[in-house]
Amino acid sequence: MKPVKRHPAGPVAPAASQALRALPALLALVLAPALAGCAGADHDAGSLYRAQCARCHGADGRGDRRSLGLHPNLDLTTSPLARAGSRGRGLIYRRIDEGYGAMPGFGHRLETADMEALVDYVLRLPQGKAGR
């Protein structure tokens, strides 16, 4: 039987000592896909909006004219939430994440940072400052 090595936290068996030494490599292996996903999720808000929102809300945020009669909230430029500015931020994020009425939720498709970027984009629409 091998002797037990001393560790600052107390005696550690050889197998546990090896596991502790392997921990940084294991963490790197586990976290690498997540960190790579963060780098890949670096979309600009304008392209995200065009890909995920413009179909219903229109490229300019004014909504699809054919649907406005049924769903007036498609026009983000007149939306009370968007006009509320930073006060509406949390609810806009929640609606993007979970959906609202006929709008589906995007929380399962988009990263948190992407949804936050969309909130910023939507908040700039009424003032005509959205990116292109």
- Mention every residue, 6+ apart, whose C-beta is less than 8 A from residue 62: 75, 76, 77
Return per-residue pLDDT of the chain as tens, 132 residues: 666 556 555 555 566 566 556 656 544 555 555 444 444 444 599 999 999 999 999 999 998 888 888 887 789 998 888 888 889 999 999 999 999 988 999 999 999 999 999 999 999 986 655 544
3-state secondary structure (DSSP) of residue 55:
helix
Q: CA-based Rg of the chain, rounded to a whole angstrom?
A: 24
Backbone angles phi, psi at 11, to 5 degrees: -65, 140
- Sorted by where each begins, the domain ranges of the chain are 5-39, 43-124
Q: Provide the pLDDT for residue 5.
A: 59
Q: 43-124 sits in which CATH class?
A: mainly alpha
Token pair in block for residue 61: 């945020």
Give the side-chain half-sphere CA count within 13 A for 105. 11
Which pTM value belongs to this model?
0.62
